[in-house]
Amino acid sequence: MIRILFLVAFLTASLSFAAPASDSEKSRKIELPKTISDSLPWFAVREFSESMVPFTRVHLQKLTQKSERTALVYFATWCIPCRVGVKRLVENYDELKKNNVSVVLVNIGERDEGAIKKWIQKLNASVFTVVIDPFKRLTEGFGLVKENEEISLPKTIVLDSKMKPLFMLSEEGEDWPQVLWAK
């Protein structure tokens, strides 16, 4: 009886860490929250770099003006689908550049900067702008979750060159990351 209970608990826990969409599925677009359907609100977080400079709406605006599209890719170091998605972004870095797509990796709710740095280095993701948001300004402030709620990951918000949100993705499928530049 104990073995059966253990097996059921193990299977339940395994399913809660579901893999990203399979290669035969498309990335799943979801509705943008009303708070960001026209533009992004003001925010301030930190860029994860040697200097740990602030990263605000103004910084993001300068970045979006240089690109046709900018993807805010939300991640956490514990999120397995996030790791897969970021790895595919790194593998497609040249294609992203060719299609004029900037990527900003947004770490949500984690305070262990050593673990974040190790995760970024392991995936060679330092080619992208990385920001840390331990207080969830870019989730709660953008209306992705209510205060003190957890966000389901992965999530990606795609912006145009004027910083207007175009669409949001909740799963990365076979078309990831090509969906970021597809018309």
Is residue 88 assigned to a domain? yes
Distance CA 21, CA 171 (A): 6
pLDDT for residue 124: 97
Distance CA 40, CA 51 (A): 25
Q: Does a cis peptide bond (omega within 30 degrees of 0) precede residue 177? A: yes
- pLDDT means per 10 residues, the chain with 183 residues, are 47 40 70 85 83 85 94 94 95 96 94 94 96 86 78 90 92 88 85
176: left (phi over 0), alpha (psi -120 to 50) or beta: beta
Is residue 11 assigned to a domain? no
Q: List the domain range (segments joined by +) for residue 62.
A: 29-178
How many structural domains compose the chain? 1
Instruction: Name the percent of the chain in helix, strand, coil, to the closest 5.
Output: 35, 25, 40
pLDDT for residue 131: 93
Q: Does a cis peptide bond (omega within 30 degrees of 0) precede residue 54? A: no
* Residue 167: strand pairing partners: 158
For residue 70, the surrounding DSSP H or E stretch is strand 69-75
pLDDT for residue 100: 97
Is residue 54 assigned to a domain? yes
pLDDT for residue 135: 84
Is residue 13 assigned to a domain? no
Residue 128 CB partners (closer than 8 Å, separation 6+):
89, 103, 104, 105
Q: Read off the CATH number of the domain in which 54 is found.
A: 3.40.30.10
